[in-house]
Amino acid sequence: MVQAARELLAVRSPLDAELMVSDMIGAWWGRRVRGGDVEQVLGEGLVDYAAKAGTPASLTLLICLAYLGTARQGAKAEGAALAMMESGVARPGWADRVGAVKPTGCYVSRDAYGDQDTVICTFAYRWNDEAGQSTDSHALVVVVDHNMSGMARDAWVSSHVDKLLEQARAEAAGNSMLLFAEIEPQQARALLESAMKATGEPKTPPPVSESYSAYHAFARARLKALPPGRKRPAPLRIEAPYSRERRAMLAAEFLASDAAEHLSDPSAASRCADHIIDYGCEQDFSRPLRVSPTKCETFLLDWLPRKVMLSVAEQEAMPHVLSAWVRFAARRTGLPEQGLKATLDAVWEATGKFPEAYRDPTSFGLDRPLLERLLPDGDLSALARRVFAFPFLQGVHNGVDLDRLNPADEADRRALLEIDHVGELDEEHLAWHEEIATRLWEGDPPQLWEAAQRLLDLGHDRHEVLHVLIEIAERIGDDPEELASALDDIADIPDEI
């Protein structure tokens, strides 16, 4: 990377340099390294290496890293760059202008469904060497996907600002399903900071565009040029959280509406409506009434099969209830007729795929009473980790009928674990097994089951994996962030375990 930084000496503007370095450090975004955080191991390691190189190219790299890096990388890079400049290392004339930008406008292009916001923030450098005026106008474009927890899914930069804005206005003028508007910089910053936080610094590659990593550092730095504010992210309307009572009232209104009058099984329809509302409240910023083709497909073919245990009656009713909900919600929100038709068409298409996408848990070889013991909350995504935590739930052992023991009950849980560890009389050791089993049951933290799966995939048996998890939990203690980080770093079982 330090050798590649020689190309920075040939560029003509700070914008080109910033984009080159953003692309460079995007190479490790979302990657994993053993023995530490990737930003510390590679990012701060690059700063230290560039500082030792002491060349004009490494100085230019440090100047860009001081602006584009994380807080720790930036501080280290700035200190190293100042020391090199004091020692007389030459730098390009544009180096003093890195990051010296001001915002010139913020805009959003939004579809009528509320699926996606394309946020455009325009900037210019504060001066040029000759006239003392703003120059090098450019636009940062970030796509925010509200069907994916409001995450930033794509980003790029354009120097053709006027053409970009003209094209966005023309598209909105010719399409009733699009809205283009100018927004306040504070609102743009709030929306994009929330979106980039949702994308996060992932341990596994997230579902973003191939180019997102190259622009991630640039976008993160540019947002700091926008004024901060306490305003809610716009244009996304975030509703107040729905209480259980409010959810129940909304379900009752739906079931009493004309849209639901054709539903033949009121009991199944009621339970299906509860799932639809819960999905909108918990996965879509408390917006159960927002409907779109993508949201409905995701709910029916992805979220339900992973998260919810449906009865046979509910499986049969769900597509019909969802269609009725789309009509009910579209009327309440004023979704254009074109959008309503497209959403109903999408539900119809997904209905044919739903029986294949949703596999009844009983098809896994587990009977319904056992499933109800393992999933009293109906959270289908918890099945695998709970079976791993409590493998002995049926039959008779030493006169104890295991079918009568409830793994959700604290006393019964201890009895099940004692059967799982016959001959292990160490109470402290059993207490740690109970701690891990409880955490696996609750999915807290989620990194615990993720680490267990990685170790199982490597061929380690269940007993070995449990002992590794116990060792980590015992060593770390009660700090949840340190525990999550230590679990993330586990790539195999150490020899000493």
> Using one digit for the tens of pLDDT, what is the confidence trace for 116-174?
999 999 999 976 545 555 578 999 999 999 999 899 999 999 999 999 999 999 999 99
Kindly report, residue by residue over 347-392, the tens digit of the pLDDT.
999 999 999 999 887 777 778 889 899 999 989 999 999 999 998 8
Q: Of all residues in the chain, what percent carry a pLDDT higher than 90?
A: 75
How would residue 426 be classed by pLDDT, with cut points 50, 70 and 90?
confident
**What letter does residue 44 receive in the DSSP assignment?**
I
Question: Rounded to the nearest 10 degrees, what angle do helices 71-86 and 45-53 cross at?
Answer: 10
User: Does residue 251 contact residue 243 with C-beta atoms inside 8 Å?
Assistant: no
d(CA 238, CA 409): 37
Q: Read off φ and ψ for residue 98, nearest 5 degrees.
A: -60, 125
Give pLDDT, residue 492. Answer: 74
Beta carbons within 10 angstroms of residue 423's beta carbon: 4
d(CA 275, CA 279): 6
How would residue 106 be classed by pLDDT, with cut points 50, 70 and 90?
very high
**Mean pLDDT in residue range 197-220:** 86
Amino acid at 471: E
List 157's β-bridge partners, or say none.
Answer: 140
d(CA 80, CA 63): 9
d(CA 109, CA 129): 35
d(CA 336, CA 116): 17
User: Does residue 22 contact residue 99 with C-beta atoms inside 8 Å?
Assistant: no
Give pLDDT, residue 418. Answer: 86
Cis (ω within 30 of 0) for the bond into 376?
A: no
Kindly report, residue by residue over 36-75, the tens digit of the pLDDT.
788 999 999 999 999 999 999 999 999 999 999 999 999 9
Which stretches within 421-494 are classed as H helix? 427-442, 446-457, 462-476, 480-489
User: Does residue 206 contact residue 144 with C-beta atoms inside 8 Å?
Assistant: no
> How does 366-399 read in b/e, with b if 16+ C-beta sit within 10 Å?
beeebbebbbeeeebebbebbbbbbeebeeebee
How would residue 448 be classed by pLDDT, with cut points 50, 70 and 90?
very high
- What sign does the dihedral 217-222-223-224 (CA atoms) show? positive
pLDDT at 232 over 80: no
> How does 439-461 read in b/e, with b if 16+ C-beta sit within 10 Å?
bbbeeebebbbbbbebbeeeebe
Q: Which of 65-74, 108-117, 342-351, 473-482 has the lowest mean pLDDT?
A: 473-482
Amino acid at 177: M
Tokens (6 digits) for 342: 């497209």
Highest mean pLDDT among 28-42, 258-272, 389-403: 258-272
d(CA 277, CA 280): 5
List 40's β-bridge partners, or say none.
Answer: none
